[in-house]
Amino acid sequence: MANTKSAMKRTRQNEKRRLRNRIHMGRTRGAVKDAQQLIQSGNLKKADEAIVEAISALDRAVTKGVLHKNNVARRKSRLMAMLHRKQAETTKA
């Protein structure tokens, strides 16, 4: 437990921020998971739409300060790579 006034205030601020960040992280995680599942199932039309939503959620998390821009860039890159690999598989077969 915090002992000083400033430490108590910091605890209150951290809790508020944690609750605010949870909203954006939940949306982001859900959107990315949906996109990944659609890619793996082979439904590429819907996967394209889901990726657009996931990228939007990720970008929103950056603007809110929830995630770092490089972290989001890596996640977007991996999502797109998954999609391109799956598209290459389906065109080969």
Residue in the structure block whose two tokens are 């972290």: 71
CATH number at residue 9: 1.20.58.110
pTM for the model stands at 0.86
Q: What are phi and psi of 65, to 5 degrees?
A: 85, 15
Per-residue pLDDT band for 1 (boundaries 50, 70, 90) equals: confident
Residue in the structure block whose two tokens are 């006034």: 5
Distance CA 22, CA 74 (A): 20
Domains in the chain, number: 1
Domain that holds residue 64: 5-92
Over its C-alpha atoms, the chain yields an Rg (Å, rounded) of 18
> In this structure, are residues 66 and 30 in contact, taking their beta carbons and an 8 Å threshold?
no
CB atoms within 10 A of CB 72: 19
Write the single-letter amino acid at 12: R
29-63 confidence digits (pLDDT tens): 999 999 999 999 999 999 999 999 999 999 999 99
pLDDT on residue 92? 85
% of the chain residues with pLDDT over 90: 94
